[in-house]
Amino acid sequence: MNVLVVGANGQVGKLLVDLLRDSQEHTVKAMVRKEEQAEVFKKMEIEAAVACLEQSVEDIAQAARGCNAVIFTAGSGRNTGYDKTLLIDLDGAVKTIEAAEKAGIKRFIMVSAIQAHRRENWHEKMLPYYAAKYYADKMLEQSELTYTIIRPGGLSSEPGTGLITAASDIRSGKISREDVAKTIIHSLTEENTYYQSFDLVSGEVPIEKALKLL
């Protein structure tokens, strides 16, 4: 697959780009919002496209041309207000879904947040963020795309173990960004993840096996 990584300059996004670049199965295009970010990827001989999630669906669709899968791992970040949470984590995600459809792309992986599907378990200090994730996920589920929604727990920068727990309902837990990225890559072609949504934390089962057990 030729995979568009939306949010390629983020911490998970950079790991994804590296894994896809080194993959024997896939190629990668990094979507970023600034030209200087794109230049960094191009110097590493990685294809890059500049598009902002606050721009039009057509702009995002243009960035996705030539790809046949999209991974959405963008986020407004901790240092922005709730206005950006709405515009990036919700509307930006929905625009990307619409852009994938417009570009004729079927495969779509959404990086969400643990327990985003259960309002009663949303973290009190992050309610707007969880609401954005909840409704973006709902829009993806109602689309015509072959989707997978991955809801990782608290993210760490520790080296990955390659061992996870993946299930439809996990109340809490943590996971390394590296293991999240590896799980996303495995999910791209693992048909058992198609039309599936699941929470993801560190565990004791190898990634490939855990996905087949969903």
The angle subtended at Cα 175 by Cα 151 and Cα 95, nearest 5°, is 30
Active-site residue among 129, 130, 134, 147? 129
How far apart are alpha carbons 136 and 89 in whole angstroms?
8
Residue 77 to residue 72: CA distance in whole angstroms: 14
The answer to whether 134 and 108 are in contact (CB under 8 A) is no
List helix spans (H) across the chain: 11-21, 35-43, 57-64, 82-84, 93-102, 127-141, 177-189, 207-212
CA angle 210, 141, 107 (to 5 degrees): 65
- What is the number of other CB atoms lying within 10 angstroms of the CB of residue 171? 11
Query: Is 134 known to be catalytic?
Result: no
Q: 19, 44 in Cβ contact below 8 A?
A: no
Q: Please list the active-site residues.
A: 129
